[in-house]
A = this chain, B = another copy of it.
Amino acid sequence: MPKPTFFNLPEAKRKAFLETALEEFAGRDYESASISQIVAKLKIAKGSFYQYFEDKRDLYLYLIELAAQERIRFVKSLPPPDPQKSFFAYTEWLLEMGVRFTFEYPRLNQIIYRAMFGTLPFRDEMLQRMKESSQDYIRQVLMQGIAAGEIEPDLDLELVAYLLNLITNDFNNFLIKKLELDPQRLMEGDYSQLDLEAIRGVFTKAMEFVRYGLAKRRV
């Protein structure tokens, strides 16, 4: 946890600090991310950093916690389609929200992605910080789908939740490849290249796979 000093900081300074720290930790993995670089970019003294945080790891775990909270906040901020209507519409919406989050908060998304799939010297502490994991959330939604009779009840929920979570988290990588987007420009907040129609088309295709699998449809 950050020291009290950090929270006493004028908001502008605190925001600027987080901005820069997120930038640093989003682009490189934990070991490579550099406190020295952060303070250099911010033009503050090295000592100041250690007034705000215990150490590097303290900052990193805080950033993860922040990113995870922000993602949950983001997903909850927009109303889902009528949940009663169709489980699959809901899942597609979830997928879409994941991608939108990626585009709107690319750095936060990177941090989460790294924390989930990367190497970390302290996975356990990290997982604690991401209490409400999206995987648990997906599992809940799946159970609702089963209750509503839309989903095959014989599925291994844990397995499917894992796979869906995996797909959701990695989907933007596919989009970037498929639509030949420039990740650099996206990272810099330039969305002019986004073709929302095309993206929605890919969503629909992805949902077809999730819904019916590969097998030839029986007509």
Contacts and interface: CB of A to CB of B under 8 A. Distances in A.
A165 to B, nearest CB: 10
Interface string A150-182: 111111101110110011001000100110000
A84 interface: no
Given A117-B117, A152-B212, A206 B163 contact: yes
Interface stretch (A26-34, A35-43, A73-81): A26-34
B152 A217 contact: yes
A212 B212 contact: yes
B215 A151 contact: yes
B215 A211 contact: yes
A210 interface: yes
User: What is the size category of the interface that chain A forms with chain B?
Assistant: 35 or more
Count the copies.
2
A85 interface: no
Contacts of A106: none
24 contacts: A27-B119, A28-B31, A29-B29, A29-B118, A31-B31, A31-B32, A88-B215, A91-B214, A118-B118, A149-B216, A152-B214, A152-B217, A154-B208, A154-B217, A155-B205, A156-B205, A160-B209, A162-B178, A166-B170, A209-B213, A211-B213, A211-B214, A212-B215, A218-B218
B205 A210 contact: no
A153 B210 CA distance: 15
Interface string A15-56: 000000000000111011000000000000000000000000
Most B Cβ at <10 Å: residue of A29, A91, A142, A145: A29
A202 interface: yes
A22 B38 CA distance: 31
A145 B29 CA distance: 40
B214 A160 contact: yes
Nearest to A216: B152
Contact of A163 (B118, B167, B212): B167
A160 to B, nearest CB: 6
B29 A119 contact: yes
> 5 closest A-B pairs (Cβ-Cβ)?
A213-B213, A31-B32, A156-B205, A212-B213, A29-B29
